[in-house]
């Protein structure tokens, strides 16, 4: 079975279907006449139960990740939380001046600038010189 990312509702629908199927297998096992058929139905019941457990775990995991992502505060680029009450700006020195490689942008934000060392000069290829020998 291929791993697809399903929503919580789709996972719950799949779990309901799997539960109904497991109950049907139990009914068929109880109505089976021979021991071999009962063993086959029991194997299918075990597979269905294990699939139900996997689906339950996926539902719990998907619900917990959506709850966590909803509670998280948006991060501001350029700010770093040192502890719960102290927020530190990343591009400023202790005396208040900008560090090398940072600049102010509109809105009072401080961003890191890509360092450029000037224009990159193209590398010249060395051409092989031909040596011509003259006969005398």
* CB-based contact 68:59 (threshold 8 Å): no
Chain centroid offset of residue 46 CA: 32
Whole-number pLDDT of residue 102:
83
Whole-number pLDDT of residue 4:
58
The mean pLDDT values, 10 residues at a time, for the chain of 136 residues are 66 86 89 90 89 86 65 58 75 82 80 69 69 69
Whole-number pLDDT of residue 2:
47
Q: What CA–CA distance (Å, rounded) separates 107 from 135?
A: 79
* CB-based contact 111:78 (threshold 8 Å): yes
Domain boundaries, the chain: 8-71, 79-112
């Amino acid at each position: 079975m291929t791993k697809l990312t399903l929503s919580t509702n789709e996972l719950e629908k799949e779990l309901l279907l799997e539960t109904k199927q497991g109950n049907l297998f139990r009914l068929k096992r109880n109505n089976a006449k021979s021991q071999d058929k009962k063993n086959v139905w029991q194997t299918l019941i075990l597979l269905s139960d294990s699939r139900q457990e996997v689906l339950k775990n996926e539902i719990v995991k998907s619900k917990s990740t959506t709850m966590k992502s909803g509670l998280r505060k948006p991060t501001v680029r350029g700010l770093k939380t040192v502890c719960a009450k102290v927020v530190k700006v990343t591009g400023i020195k202790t005396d208040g001046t900008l560090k090398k490689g940072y600049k102010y942008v509109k809105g009072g934000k401080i961003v890191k600038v890509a360092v450029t060392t000037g224009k990159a000069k193209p590398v010249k290829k060395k051409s092989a010189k031909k040596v011509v020998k003259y006969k005398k």
